[in-house]
Amino acid sequence: MAENKGIIAWLSETAKTVFWALLIAGIFRTIFFQPFWIPSGSMKDTLLIGDFLFVNKMAYGYSYASCPSIRIPQVGIDIGAEDFCGFLEDREERIFGSDPERGDIVVFRHPVDGRDFIKRLIGVPGDRIQMIDGVLQINDVAVTIEDAGTFTEIMEPQGPLGLRPQCANGAVGLGAVCEKSRAIETLPNGVTHAILDIGPRATDNTGVFTVPEGQYFFMGDNRDNSTDSRIAQAARGVGFVERKDLVGRADRVIFSSAGRSMLAFWTWRSDRFFKALD
């Protein structure tokens, strides 16, 4: 009997410990920083597949999108921020809110399916955004672009999803060098960052996007391999993103692994640990 009471007491204490640990982790993730693992190459070479970072949730204040989401497709768990904090979804103002700046690397909720996306903020409310022959135009003025050589990587499956890169030098075989043109783009507020180009794509020439009030326009740095605001939501793109859908700002890579698992220590990119983002 005493043994059973001891087991029950142990189970009770363990349950309490787990509960408080999860509660503290949830509060930390909601208010301060959210971990984010880069799954695709849309932000190369600023962010690489396998980069791990913490998103600063204090940067823009709080909305329903600040609440955590839990998605584990292997076991059928799909709980979004709206499930936790849906009562805040229609609230236009953010708590302790501040506006993002052009050039920020921002994590936001996809306006349709609620997935977390990470892109660079290109257009703020009132801006006119257009692509002409692969060159970004902001308010009818082309941004400054300077050649920065060639970005190279090995053609091989990358990250847990096993994605293969797209190459400007054709359909190269496994183990061969995959190349992309690299340039430095300067935005009107002086923010500079690298962009990659693979070749002619439909999104190299677009109509004019006029960014509505309270919304933003995002693009990936890997311009020819990014599903972003250039593609309308109806066409399975991102379209304009509302202010309430912003999650936070990415400032620094904490850890990086080039392998299929972060446990494969021989694939760690030590030169990217604690790397500040431009």
Q: Supply the DSSP symbol for 204.
A: G
Strand partners, 35: 54
Q: How far is CA 73 from the centre of its chain?
A: 19
Classify the C-alpha dihedral 208-211-212-215 as positive or negative. Answer: positive
Cβ density class 42-79: b for 16+ within 10 Å, e for less: bbbbbbbbbbbbbbbbebbbbbbbbbbbeeeeeeeeee
Per the document, the length of the chain is 278
Q: Supply the DSSP symbol for 19.
A: H
Place of tokens 């060159």: 135
Place of tokens 């839990």: 70
Residues classed as catalytic:
42, 119
